[in-house]
Structure formats: C-alpha cells, structure tokens
Amino acid sequence: MLEGKIALVTGASRGIGREIALSLAGRRAFVIVNYNGSRERAEETVHEIEKIGGKAVAFPCDVSDFAATEQMMKELVKTYGKIDILVNNAGITRDGLIMRMSEEDFDRVIATNLKGAFNTIRHLSRQMLKQKSGRIINIASVSGVLGNAGQANYAASKAGVIGLTKTMARELAGRGITVNAVAPGFIDTDMTKVLPEAVKTAVTEEIPMKRFGETKDVAEAVVFLASDAASYITGQVLCVDGGMAM
C-alpha cells in the first residue's frame, strides 16, 4: 500500500504512463498526472482514477524544458509539501536509419527521453534529499539495453537513461532514495501501434514469449519498485520484455 504517498508520473495521459498512474492510485498513492499535449486525456486519466476511488490531479509541463520543469517542481512541492515517488515515463520516438535521421529528430528524442529525466531529477533531488526518502523510477527500454536498428536516437536516449539511473542511485543511496529503471520490451500502446504489420510480426518472432506485453505488465513492475518491498533495491534495470534482453 502507498497510502499517504505523493507520486508524480510524467506523460501520464495515455499508454504506459496512464496505466502506471492508475496502478499507483489503486494502491492509494495521490497521483499527479503530468501531461504535455492533451489536457482532455489527462483529465480522463484523473477521472478513471477517481472512479476506482483514488485521488489525482492533472498538471501540464513539457519535461524537456528545464525552466518549466523547475517551475512545476516548485509548485508541486509548495502545494503538496513533498513528492515521494517520481516516475519518468514521458518519451517519444522518431525512428529512421542513421543516414536519413535528421539532426532535429535526434535532438528532439534526446531532449524528451534523456534530458526530460535529468530535468525532473535535477529539480526534485534537493527536496528528496531533505525528505531523506524517495523513489525514482525511470522508464528505459530494451532498445537502450540491446540497441535497435532504426532507433539510433531512441536507443541512445534510453541507454543514457540507464546511465543516469545508476549514477543517481549512487549519488542518492546514502539518503534513503532509490533509483531504478524499468526497461519494457514491446508493449501494446499508441507508440507501437504505428509499426507496420511486417515489423510487428518480425519483432514478435524475436520475443521468447511470442507476444507483445501489456501496459499493466510495466505498471506492476513500477508499483513494486515504488513499494516498501523494494526498499533495498537500487541502481537496477528491470526488463519487462517477455525475455527479449536475457
């Protein structure tokens, strides 16, 4: 149970982030549903949470923006007094082979996936150090563990997230703060819906469990890492991938 805990989930208006928000709220955490695009979808997530008897608010912020992220953290800490659980879930893809990848597509993916996680941790770490407790869970990817043709920008960003996770774990461990990554394989969301059928079939062949995962599979791993049961686990990368990266 996460009664009394305040959780911030970035990019939580849909997909994996939405499921994480619902699962944390289902364990009684108060959830801040961060979003960048659609306020309507974020409010829908809040509504879903309220329907299961949970508590949540929607909060807009582009996490790739350093100053905006600082402002968000200031406001949240002022309002709620603390943040116990930070889930860096916001992420984008701009896939393409390296010879055709634009500078903009490389920079945008790094700015959201890697710098976004840096921004939130950078602006929350002082508060968590003061609290002498905290859980940071970064959503990486098997692409960052194994590499993936056509995803130079994305795989680099997620490998970066893993390096960031381990470094933060070392810096913050002495003050009761754990930092872990969850590395999903292929999960059925809007992000993977756009893949051509032929790619989906080829990918499924590579998954030992021969199927895509569900958002719930990732959310439950996050809930575990946020729970008391995981209090002695830090700096780890938990792959939720049907066996892809073993």
Query: Which chain residues interact with ligand NAI by CB under 6 A?
Result: 10-11, 13-17, 34-37, 62-64, 89-92, 112, 116, 139, 141, 184, 186-187, 189-192
User: Encoding tokens for residue 150?
Assistant: 């056509």
Q: Which is closer to ligand NAI, CB of 129 or CB of 199? A: 199
Q: Which sign does the torsion angle of CA 128, 47, 138, 62 carry?
A: negative
Q: Which is closer to ligand NAI, CB of 34 or CB of 125? A: 34
User: Encoding tokens for residue 194?
Assistant: 């756009």
Minimum Å gap between C-beta 62 and ligand NAI is 4
DSSP H or E segment with residue 6 = strand 6-9
Beta bridge pairs of residue 199? none
Contact 176, 228 (CB under 8 A): no
- Residue 47 exposed, middle or buried by CB count within 10 Å (0-12, 13-18, 19+): exposed
Specify whether 35 is catalytic: no
Q: Which is closer to ligand NAI, CB of 81 or CB of 243? A: 243
DSSP state of 96: B
Minimum Å gap between C-beta 144 and ligand NAI is 8
Beta bridge pairs of residue 134? 177
End-to-end Cα spacing for the chain: 30
Minimum Å gap between C-beta 130 and ligand NAI is 25
Q: Which of 225, 34, 55 is nearest to 119 (CA)?
A: 34
Q: Which is closer to ligand NAI, CB of 23 or CB of 36? A: 36
Minimum Å gap between C-beta 193 and ligand NAI is 9
Catalytic residues, by residue number, are 154
